[in-house]
């Protein structure tokens, strides 16, 4: 599976962005999808995930109520709607795919994901 993330940019605090992740080489029906981010000087951290059935989603506490993850398997796409952005959301955002056989409790860990996109930069100014 090849993943490509897009939609990042420079916005002011309180504004919104929608990140997209397009998959090729395989159908996304077979994968749980996750978003991670990495800020300068920090480790990569989990942001959100959505099960391959769309029946389950998990968010990091830092983004709950502001970010929404979704997917469209027919289009082989995953999305991350980010509202009320804050400067601390500044990071490179990565989409990732984990086989649907992975258990839910493991999907907050980046080692559970086999495929990664190249990342898209999100910068939020205060």
Q: Can you give the pLDDT at residue 61?
A: 98
Q: Is the pLDDT of residue 55 over 90?
A: no
* In the predicted structure, residue 2 carries a pLDDT above the cut 90: yes
Q: Is the pLDDT of residue 43 over 90?
A: yes
DSSP string, the chain: -EEEEE--EEEETT--EEEEEEEESS-GGGEEEEEEEE-TTS--EEEEEE-TTSS-EEE-TTTTTTEEEEEEGGGTEEEEEE-S--GGG-EEEEEEEEETTS-GGGTTSGGG--EE---EEEEEE-
pLDDT tens digits, residue range 56-111?
999 999 999 999 999 999 999 999 999 999 999 999 999 999 999 999 889 999 99
């Amino acid at each position: 599976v090849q993943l490509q993330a897009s939609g990042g940019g420079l916005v002011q605090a309180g504004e919104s962005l929608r990140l997209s992740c397009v998959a090729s080489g395989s159908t996304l029906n077979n994968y749980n999808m996750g978003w991670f981010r990495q800020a300068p000087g920090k480790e990569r951290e989990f942001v959100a995930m959505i099960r391959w059935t769309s029946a389950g989603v998990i968010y990091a506490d830092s983004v709950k109520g502001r970010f929404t993850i979704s997917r469209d398997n027919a289009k082989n796409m995953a999305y991350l709607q980010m509202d009320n952005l804050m400067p601390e959301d500044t990071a490179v955002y990565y989409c990732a795919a984990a086989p649907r056989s992975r258990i839910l409790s493991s999907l907050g860990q980046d080692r559970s994901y086999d495929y990664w996109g190249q990342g898209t930069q999100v910068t939020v100014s205060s």
